[in-house]
Amino acid sequence: MSTTEHATTGQPTTEHPPHPSVKRYWQIALFLGVVTAIEVAIAYIPDLDRTVLTVGLVGLGIIKFGSVVGWFMHLRFENKTMNRLFAIGLVLALGLFFIVLATFSGILSS
Amino acid sequence: MATLTPEATEVQEPDEHGSRGGLWSWITTVDHKRIGLMYGGTAMFFFLLGGIEALFIRLQLAVPDGTVLTSDQYNQLFTMHGTTMVFLVIMPLAAAFGNYLIPIMIGARDVAFPRMNAMSFWVFLFGGIFLSSSFFLGGFPDGGWFGYAPLSTQSEVIRMDFWALGLLILGIASLAGAVNFTTTIFTMRAPGMTMFKMPVFVWMQLVVAFLLLFSLPVITVALFEVFFDRNFGTLFYDPAAGGDPILYQHLFWLFGHPEVYILILPSMGIVSEVLPVFSRKPLFGYQFVVFAGAAIALLGFGVWAHHMFTSGLGPVAESAFSLTTMFIAVPTGIKIFNWLGTTWGGKISLKTPMLFALGFIAMFTIGGLSGVTHSVVPADTQQTDSYYVVAHFHYVLFGGAMFGIFAGVYYWWPKISGRYLSEALGKWHFWLMLLGFNLTFAPQHWLGLWGMARRTAVYPPDIGLETLNMVSTIGAFLIAVSMLPFLYAMLTNHRKGEPAPADAWDGRTLEWSVSSPPPHHNFHEVPTVEAIDDFWHRKYGEDEEGRAVRIATIPEPERFTDAYIHLPSPSYYPIMLAAGLVLAAYGFLFGPIGIPLLIVGALVLFGGIFGWAQEDPDHPMGDHDDHHGGHDDHEAETGPVEDEAGAAEGETAGDPEAAEVVEGEDA
Amino acid sequence: MATETAVHGPTGTDGADIRKTAMWGFLGSECLFFGSFIATFLLYSDETNGGPGTEVFDIPFTSVSSFVLLMSSLTMVLAHNAYERDDNRQLRIWLVATALLGTVFLGGQVFEFTTFYAEGLRMDVSPFGSAFFVLTGFHGAHVAVGVLMLTSMIILSRRGQLYRHRGMNVELVGLYWHFVDIVWIVIFTVVYLLQV
């Protein structure tokens, strides 16, 4: 068997994939600043439904998280190995602690 | 800063062991083979310690109302027996094999980060000494090897501080090792060796590295929380204040169950290498064995709560974890059938490594089956904390992991020393150990089901537990006796061992293509790999009926003692960093009077880090365009960033045409 | 036996810098480290043991310090960009800016901790206090380590010893720094905004 998930073995890819420009970095930073401002604003809306608040804040948090990882950490330009190493850690952290907290919440007891 | 000067790292002639003599050369070594040997030797020493602890436990339990130990001593001994065997014996033995073999098996000259590798070993060694030294400083830890809170947070003396801090230190060693192995396996394989042409042993080490990478941080947090509760007044596990000890159980077993696979998978890898060689057949269903290993790792993260069935998780959670626990038996079963399939119809040669490998399959299967019984919640409720559990995990970790490790020791020793271990003594070792092991642990299944609780120092007479406890104790001493032929064979190997050719067993993997012991740089020429078991296919073809036919005789590899290959220079910063870390830990534990020690330790630690960061790991004699294994840091050819030419130089490191080997020392 | 040699060095046989692969593995591991602490916090967010709870949080203040840390990611990526272009003047300017922003964030954390202690939220008062201080404290420790690494980068660059293919380089320090920033993005949302 020679098929492999790492088909790049032995064939070095471009060592320096094209990186975003300085201008793009400033744009992303501006975007992140605006998103943060929206987050804080949402938190101060009086009598906002708790579910809407949670979904909104988590959604915006994910957007910020993804922007920093994808662009500033340029993970979107890296190879599969690096993407998987980080993705596994992230998915395990989310999944495992969701289950742990669920067992405490009582939703699994009945 | 004391960087190594050119004079200090003068070209060192490797002798026939690929080594340059002297204690200092071992202390500063960054060679993965030497680090592997030191890992193995240290772990074997702790194996002796852990074994002696076990014998005391069995002496105490030999007769009812035993008086050999006090309850306090008993608590200390069972805690340290477990902690030692898990963290100071089996894990480092797996690291020993990984260190010695992974680079050679994938055709590399060292691991990815040689100095970090050395640091892992020294942190492990000093961490092990730290943990064991508690014996002289207030007593061994006594809260059980999994240190359940609030028992572990409430005892007054510093015993459990030693435990928590010791495991945190050992965690650093394991995490650095896991990062190192992962990177090595992903990025340093020889040309042509795709992931699915790697030996299964390397695959299993990769899976273990992943498990370590993603489970160690969880126990790190659990240990920090216990340690903070004990020392800084936090209330993580204080039920009176609203803390929840069940959280500790979750965090511990989120690590603890993957840990079980961390302990067993390296042995599964070893057995997957030994069986094909001694059956003279390729491994049956290579991809299935690999995928089963990966599946075990994945499922291994989803079964932790079966250790907590009696903690009141609720029926939904219990059912779910019951199912995942049953599921994990499937990939395990796949492996067992693949191993049996490998031997089926093979030309089996019952040499000692093969005996241990077959013993592994049999004993591990028994342990695996009793493990499946734990997935049934009502049954598990009866078995929890009884000797049935003790019997189960000893069948997995001793009958499984240790048998596999001994298979590996007998199998690869000729590669390491150039001499076979005695077959006669090896067979004594195997049969005595198999008999002693089963005498010790088989009766414990019944003892547990009859109600004998684990971790109690005494049991009353006249409730029917005497006979089997006595049998168990006799078995334990038989295991101790079985170690004598092994030790004797090891100690006399350099005189009495029969010399072995490089290809000692007509092997299949790359390590058999190099001399025994392997040269310092492993490969004179980095091999190109075309198939699984590439080395076998260089020797054998197939006739019309598919039988293996010898097509080539591989001459004994030269020793290449005169070849000079650029390898990372030795460094004393790894040991300095490790020493500083452990000194600081001692200083911290001993409160006000320990503060000077804490300061000294911290200074040594930071000195080590700064020296490390500034050290030039490049051999000054090396010409600047060679390429070799092992590089956190050896690319001096690229100028400082200050240089205008830096941009162009950035590319030279990837030049595959660069000269690899420079013959002669005047290069 | 072929004569083609393996491509080793900082570039592995998969064509990528081996140190970056190692760093991403480490960061994947760190996800579970902070995940464990965050899970602990979520479990204990109401366990105030009679002491103060989330009402002591000062969202405007924390929003500002979050913004400071977020912008340090911008300066870090600009430093890396200058590094790629071998522009050492720009590199040092942005490294200094990043280290300063990090220090400002740490200063803010010290101020916040002091205020909370004055208001009675301490780590030995309640599981909530323990979980809050230990989580944000370990994050702060990561920031402090980052500031130390940035400082060494600045010094090494000044002395002309910042080698691209040896040890930690600006890119690796950058990855670590951005990671510390994304952990704070999660903490800011989960620990602060969602709790008040």
Q: What is the mean pLDDT of residues C169-177?
A: 92
| Cα-only R_g, chain A | 20
**Helices A80-105 & C18-44, crossing angle to 10 degrees?**
10
CB spacing of B641 vs C157 below 8 angstroms: yes
Q: Which residues of B touch C40 (CB under 8 A)?
A: 221, 225, 236, 247
C-alpha B501/C-alpha B512 separation (Å) is: 9
CB count in 10 Å sphere of residue C96: 16
Question: Would you call A105 an interface residue with chain B, using a CB distance cutoff of 8 Å?
Answer: no
Question: Would you call B194 an interface residue with chain A, using a CB distance cutoff of 8 Å?
Answer: yes
A16 to chain C, minimum CA–CA distance in Å?
9
Examine the pLDDT at A5 and tell me if it is beyond 80. no
User: pLDDT digits over C61-106, tens only?
Assistant: 999 999 999 999 999 999 999 988 888 899 999 999 999 999 999 9
Give the helix/strand (H/E) hosting B86: none
Q: B222, exposed or middle or buried, with CB in 10 Å at 0-12, 13-18, 19+?
A: buried
Question: Would you call B32 an interface residue with chain A, using a CB distance cutoff of 8 Å?
Answer: no
Distances (CA, A) of B636 to B117, B119, B329, B564: 21, 22, 51, 18
Matching residue, tokens 């906002």: A48
Cis peptide before B6 (omega within 30 of 0): no
Question: Would you call A11 an interface residue with chain B, using a CB distance cutoff of 8 Å?
Answer: no
**Measured in whole angstroms, how far is the alpha carbon of residue B639 from the centre of its chain?**
39
pLDDT at B649: 30
User: pLDDT digits over C107-160, tens only?
Assistant: 999 999 999 999 999 999 999 999 999 999 999 999 999 999 999 999 988 888
C-alpha A16/C-alpha B285 separation (Å) is: 39
A-chain residue closest to B189, CA distance? A9
C47 to chain A, minimum CA–CA distance in Å?
13
pLDDT at B333: 95
A-chain residue closest to B190, CA distance? A10
Pick from C6, C43, C83: CB nearest B247 = C43
Are residues B87 and B132 in contact, defined by beta-carbon separation less than 8 angstroms? no
Pick from C14, C44, C167: CB nearest B187 = C14
What is the pTM (predicted TM-score) of this model?
0.89
Here the tokens at position B135 are 């014996």
B-chain residue closest to A92, CA distance? B214
pLDDT at A110: 53
CB spacing of C13 vs A65 below 8 angstroms: no
Count of CB pairs separated by less than 8 Å, B with C: 216
User: pLDDT digits over B166-210, tens only?
Assistant: 999 999 999 999 999 999 999 999 999 999 999 999 999 999 999
pLDDT at B5: 35
CB spacing of C40 vs B247 below 8 angstroms: yes
First to last CA, chain C: 67
Q: Which residues of B touch A6 (CB under 8 A)?
A: 186, 194-195
Q: Please list the alpha-helical segments (H only) found in B280-386.
A: 286-300, 315-327, 329-343, 352-373, 377-383
Pick from A6, A68, A82: CB nearest C24 = A82
User: pLDDT digits over B280-289, tens only?
Assistant: 999 999 999 9
Question: Would you call B115 an interface residue with chain C, using a CB distance cutoff of 8 Å?
Answer: no
C-alpha B118/C-alpha C95 separation (Å) is: 31
C-chain residue closest to B181, CA distance? C22
Q: Which residues of A touch B638 (CB under 8 A)?
A: none
Q: Residues 6 or more apart from B512 whose CB is under 8 A from it?
A: B415, B502, B503, B504, B505, B535
**Measured in whole angstroms, how far is the alpha carbon of residue B451 from the centre of its chain?**
34
Question: Would you call A9 an interface residue with chain B, using a CB distance cutoff of 8 Å?
Answer: yes
Strand partners, B499: B419
pLDDT at B631: 37
A3 to chain C, minimum CA–CA distance in Å?
15
In the predicted model, residues of chain B with pLDDT beneath 70 are 1-21, 559-566, 616-667
Full 3-state SS string of B453-493: ECCCCCCCCCCCCHHHHHHHHHHHHHHHHHHHHHHHHHHHH
CB spacing of A10 vs B320 below 8 angstroms: no
pLDDT at B552: 79
CB spacing of A89 vs C30 below 8 angstroms: yes
Are residues B122 and B640 in contact, defined by beta-carbon separation less than 8 angstroms? no
Instruction: Give per-residue burial for B562-601: e unless 16+ CB within 10 Å, then b.
Output: ebbbbbbbbbbbbbbbbbbbbbbbbbbbeeeebeebbeeb
Are residues B186 and A81 in contact, defined by beta-carbon separation less than 8 angstroms? yes
Are residues B400 and B264 in contact, defined by beta-carbon separation less than 8 angstroms? yes
**Measured in whole angstroms, how far is the alpha carbon of residue B58 from the centre of its chain?**
26
Matching residue, tokens 């200050």: B642
Matching residue, tokens 């080594």: B19
CA neighbor of B653 nearest in space, from C19, A18, C68, C121: C19
pLDDT at C116: 96
At B663, is the secondary structure helix, strand, or coil? strand
Q: Residues 6 or more apart from B514 whose CB is under 8 A from it?
A: B104, B502, B522, B523, B557
CB spacing of C165 vs B233 below 8 angstroms: no
In chain C, which among 104-163 make CB contacts under 8 A with chain B? 123-127, 129-131, 133-134, 138, 152, 157, 160-163
Here the tokens at position C72 are 């340090």
pLDDT at C28: 96
Are residues B53 and B84 in contact, defined by beta-carbon separation less than 8 angstroms? yes
